[in-house]
Structure 1
């Protein structure tokens, strides 16, 4: 009997306590007018309610407060004081232009703060006082002009900051002091004209940085010094960026580098050679015309290379030589006519290849690709032929194995006219040797000098666009045998040409070649060399008398003029 009574009293006590707790909870959750409150998740939603001020009577134990999409203009000192349990505060999409010092004082548990898309122009030092546990800060899409010294000094646990799409013109050297835990930084669409190297160097835990739409034309040496933890660097949409200094990325241990939508005309090999840990490289949408051979070999860990949407005309043999971990190449939307197997260290390691939207010539140089058409990953975008005309627009997957030896062929070069070319000329004469060849694909023509050096397309001795060799104003030292070679992937053919240059007699003409033309100076023959030695003056006695008389008359004339003016 006693047990039953005690049991009934215990149940009544529990019910009473439960009712009291509900009453207390209701009393501690007075939801402001125009807001929606959810006690079970401790969320207060005041979004898009046309509020001009922070509402009063906010629950002190709320964890999330959404004030976005209103008409808030100013945040006063200790605006949210008392909401010590608040973890997430959204002030985005307002018209806030002023935040007073210590506006967030008391929010010791706040982890996420969003103030994006407002009208802030300056952030006074001390605004973020009290936010020692903040993890993420979004200041994007404001009108901030400058970050002052020690603006973020009390935010020692901040991990992410988005300062993109502001009007930043200057970041003070000590602006980021105190951000010892910051790992990710975004600076987009600012008016910075140089890299704030000293400010960035304070962020020694930074692992990811994105810089987009800046107006910087060159990346200077030591631009990111002391950022030893930086692993991902993204440089995007810098239309003025034309080059990287050779030591601009020195000291970095990057694994991912993106320099996209800029104005680089060449792969910045000198700047990249320091990046021995790089795995992902993206240089897409730059006017780069070629990838040269044997210049990426120091990037031993490189796995992916992207250069889509560029101006690529050629990928040279050995371009990816030494890259034993290379897995992916994306060169889509360029001007490539072919991609030779010799460009790679080993095509057996290649897994993904993007060649689509290139004017590909389907011949023997691409046979290695089409043979792997069912094993290689083209990311759903099959390469297709632009020539020859019979297979134009056909995708690689459409070819049968029986067609490959018929379509993907090359014809060995053949020099058309093999008649021996010999020339014996006087010094100063212009000479031209012909070298025409046919083959498929069209052979390239090279000439070697008598000293076995390759002749270029500029200079006094040069190779013309049609393959001919031109020697302007031939000199005696040009004599010898020149070798023309026509080559394509199917082989080569060669022919030689002989030149003999006779020198002029020294007593008739003296000549030399300048950058503009061949200059000749005629001298009268001299039969008495001793007379030339005995007359050290370039004029005779008669000339001397005339010159002296003229000089004396000029002096008298000058004196007369002076007297007239006096």
Structure 2
């Protein structure tokens, strides 16, 4: 039985070799080309060809025409090559591809037209390519994708349309790409996300948008892309804002937002992404990662934020992230990274802290203790402070050095004298709260209502730790709390402020550059003084002011009539009599609404 099987396999081997020899014998090679009969490949790359060569073998599977001077691909140019699977037309000067140029290539799987001079793709140019899997039309000059441009490519899985001059993608341009999984659109002139066009790609799993000039990612920007798993937004220097619902509806596992202009982590936009595992926000001017705002990303495993402006990662920033394995915050401005940042440092595997101005004190002791188990990816973090260990790598510290270098001194408020102030309304008050410790402690003030006071406003915490109350009001009265804190502990003091108000009916307020000043009027004993304070002008002043106003009115009327007289002399005969109705002020005439109207009649001579 075994011999019969061996004989059968031997017969098949002979038959296979005979068919290969027959195919090789039929495999003719055009001039200037190099042919490989064993792989059924024809290589005509960089042969200065100005047209598709004649005499191509009908059974060729791979044809390379890249790097030539081809200008036009004519209709049914490759119709006889029904077995062709891979066609490379890249790096030519092709500016025109006629409709049905690829008709007959029913087995074509991979088509490359990269780096040519195409400006438009006529509808029907890809007709017949029903089995194409990959299409590369990058690095051309294409301006627009028209409706149904890719309609016949029902099995296309990857489309690279990057590095074109796209200004518009029609809503139905991607109709027919029912199997497309990956789309790249790089360096285009699009001014908005082609949401309607993208919504046709129901099977899309990876989308790359690189070097666009869009400033805001709008709500529902990727509506309908339920299968999308990887979204890459790269090199958008104008992108400053992600609307809160810009990524709603997506089930991403990988999100990359790099080389943009985001000044903060877009927490509101990320909260929907419960399946997210990989997040890259590198090369954005992000200053801090706040606490307890990433907890909804329950599956997050990696965060990359390289080359930003990070000054602080707050305690609890990654709280609740039980799968968190990798943090890369290299090349930032971090001075430390506290253990309380993480849900559990036991699950952390890779940590990149290199190229940060790290202060080596007790806050980094947990990193030193785990330096044998943590993976620093070959780039050890180094100390910048204190000076005696400047640029010393974490791995180079001995156990004996740890209690000497990686220490902290608890925060302590220096001036603990009683500070109680009792002032009148409108006074400026300042309370001192200077603190010492290692590392330098942070000082915060709580108001009498137990709210944290900021550095702006009428009641503000100053940079030197003091509290300033400007133009104190009665409602400012109460007890204020100053707290100084660092990694080793905290200290606090309280101060008291009592503000006494002044009677409003006996005060007049004025504002000076230094403070509000309250001035009390002396009690008046005669009615004339009270009257003068109630009416600031006497009767004589009122009469003079009224007379001057009336004379000014008559002077204006006289000037107008003089002007009309001289103007009428140049215009011929006109009516020289004018009647003017004059209604005096009620205060002058003593009448009400029913008073008679005075009338002046004036005649020009």
Distance 1:555 1:263 in 2: 63
Work out which of the two has the higher radius of gyration on C-alpha atoms and give 1 or 2: 2
Deviation of 1:506 after TM superposition, in Å, equals 3.5
Alignment of 1:427-506 (within 5 A): 427-506=425-504
Change (3 A) 1:148 1:60: same
Match of 2:277 among 276, 279, 287: 279
TM-score by length of 2: 0.86
**What does residue 261 of structure 2 align with?**
263
Q: What corresponds to 1:126 in structure 2?
A: 124
Question: What aligned pairs does 1:4-403 form with structure 2 within 5 A after superposition?
Answer: 25=23, 28-403=26-401
Partner of 2:573: none
Contact kept, 8 Å, 1:473 with 1:513, in 2: the verdict is no
Which shifted more, 543-552 or 315-324? 543-552
Specify which of 407, 410, 430 is matched with residue 409 of structure 1: 407
- Looking at structure 1, the residues matched to 16 and 335 of structure 2 have their Cα atoms a distance apart, in angstroms, of 79
8 A Cα contact 1:61 1:83, kept in partner: yes
- Structure 1 gap ranges (5+): 1-16
- Aligned partners of 1:507 and 1:523 also within 8 Å: no
| CA distance in 2 between partners of 1:534 and 1:155 (Å) | 95
Does the 8 Å contact 1:93/1:116 carry over to 2?
A: yes
Distance apart, 1:45 and its partner CA: 1.1
Compared with structure 1, are the counterparts of its residues 519 and 469 closer, same or farther at alpha carbon in structure 2 (3 Å cutoff)? closer
**1:28-61 Cα shifts (integer Å, max 9, x gaps):** 3321111122222111111111100001111111
Please give the per-residue CA displacement for 1:187-210, whole angstroms capped at 9, x wherever unaligned: 111111111111111111000011
Deviation for aligned residue 1:541: 4.4
Distance 2:20 2:167 in 1: 54
Cross-structure match for 1:3: none
Q: Which moved more, 1:48-57 or 1:27-36?
A: 27-36
Moved more, 349-358 or 554-563: 554-563
Q: Is the CA contact 2:46–2:68 (under 8 Å) kept in the aligned structure 1?
A: yes
| Cα 1:68–1:533 shift into 2, 3 Å | same
2:443–2:483 contact (8 Å) kept in structure 1: yes
- Choose 491-500 or 44-53, whichever is displaced more: 491-500
Alignment deviations for residues 80-107 of structure 1 (CA, whole Å, 9 cap, x no partner): 0111111110001111111111100110
Q: 1:222 to 1:434 in 2, by over 3 A?
A: same
Once the two structures are superposed, residues 500-524 of structure 1 have per-residue CA deviations (whole angstroms, 9 ceiling, x without a partner) of: 223234354234889x985558675
| Alpha-carbon spacing, 1:521–1:22, altered in 2? closer, same or farther (3 Å) | closer
Give, in whole Å, the separation in 2 of the partners of 1:199 and 1:93.
29
Change (3 A) 1:64 1:513: farther
CA apart distance, 1:554: 2.5
Structure 2: which 5+ residue stretches go unaligned? 1-14, 565-605
Distance 1:322 1:550, change over 3 A: same
Q: 1:29 to 1:517 in 2, by over 3 A?
A: farther
Distance 1:26 1:379, change over 3 A: closer
1:492 deviates by 1.0
TM-score under structure 1 normalisation? 0.92
What is the alpha-carbon distance in structure 2 between the residues aligned to residue 385 and residue 25 of structure 1?
Answer: 68
C-alpha contact (below 8 Å) 1:96/1:118 kept by paired residues = yes
* 1:517–1:129 CA distance, 2 compared to 1 (3 A): farther
**CA offset digits 1:433-490 (Å, max 9, x no partner):** 1111111001111112222222111111111111011111112222222221111111
Partner of 2:58, secondary structure, is coil
Question: Partners in 2 of 1:519 and 1:374 — Cα distance?
Answer: 64
The change in CA–CA distance for 1:26 and 1:353 in structure 2 (over 3 A counts) is: closer
Q: SS in structure 2 opposite 1:30?
A: coil
Q: CA RMSD in A?
A: 2.5
Q: Answer yes or no: is the 8 Å Cα contact 2:424–2:500 preserved in 1.
A: yes
The answer to whether the 8 A contact 2:426-2:518 is kept is no
Q: Distance in 2 between matches of 1:350 and 1:19?
A: 57
Measured after TM superposition, the shift of residue 26 of structure 1 is: 6.6
Aligned CA distance change for structure 1 residues 468 and 519 (closer, same or farther; 3 Å): closer
Q: Check 1:409–1:512 CA distance in 2 against 1; reply closer, same or farther (3 A cut).
A: farther
Task: State the alpha-carbon separation in 2 of the partners of residues 62 and 144 from structure 1.
Answer: 30
Q: State the Cα deviation string for residues 99-129 of structure 1 (Å, max 9, x = none).
A: 1111001101101000001111111111100
What secondary structure does 2:504 align onto? coil
In the alignment, the residues of structure 2 paired with residue 222 and residue 433 of structure 1 have an alpha-carbon distance, to the nearest angstrom, of 51
CA distance in 1, matches of 2:402, 2:225: 52
Distance 2:490 2:85 in 1: 73
Residue 22 (structure 1) shift: 9.1
* Aligned counterpart, 1:562: 560
**Matched residue SS, 1:559:** helix
